[in-house]
């Protein structure tokens, strides 16, 4: 049991780092406006709404890649032959994404794609890790 918990924790940490790494590409491509205060939710929402579609696609790819890595690692580390740990990772990452969607306004298409792809990506990661 301890190995499985550790596998999920490691999967989530590494998956989160993948997400942050890929999302940081957007900061390089589309720097924050000078003087933007991240605590000013309206100003940050305005910045996000002004981003091009390519920036939002980068975020989607980050979430998909992070979920895939989390599902893969959790399954591989625990040497599990089922999708349970990947589903746990996917649900936790999905919860984080939903909180983000409530905090920062996003286009509807982005919200739908984001919510519908995280768990399948984690399951795909698990499938890639399972030896058959």
Q: Where are the domains of the chain?
A: 2-29+49-129
> Residues 94, 105: contact at Cβ < 8 Å?
no
pLDDT value, residue 132: 62
> Residues 57, 96: contact at Cβ < 8 Å?
no
Q: Of 127, 13, 19, whose CA–CA distance to 71 is shortest?
A: 127
What's the CA gap between 122 and 70, in Å, rounded? 6
What's the CA gap between 94 and 127, in Å, rounded? 19
| Rg value, the chain, Cα | 16
Full-model pTM: 0.91
Q: pLDDT tens for residues 33-91?
A: 888 887 888 888 888 888 899 999 999 999 999 999 999 999 999 998 899 999 999 99
């Amino acid at each position: 049991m301890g190995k499985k918990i550790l596998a999920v924790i490691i999967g989530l940490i590494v998956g989160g780092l993948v997400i942050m790494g890929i999302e940081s590409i957007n900061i390089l491509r589309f720097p924050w406006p000078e003087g933007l205060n991240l605590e000013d939710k309206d100003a940050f929402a305005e910045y996000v709404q002004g981003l091009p579609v390519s920036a939002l696609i980068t975020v989607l790819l980050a979430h998909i890649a992070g979920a895939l890595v989390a599902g893969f690692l959790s399954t591989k580390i625990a040497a599990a032959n089922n999708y349970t740990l990947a589903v746990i990772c996917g649900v936790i990452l999905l919860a984080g994404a939903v909180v983000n969607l409530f905090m920062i306004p996003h286009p509807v298409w982005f919200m739908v794609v984001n919510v519908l792809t995280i768990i399948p990506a984690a399951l795909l990661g698990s499938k890639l890790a399972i030896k058959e």
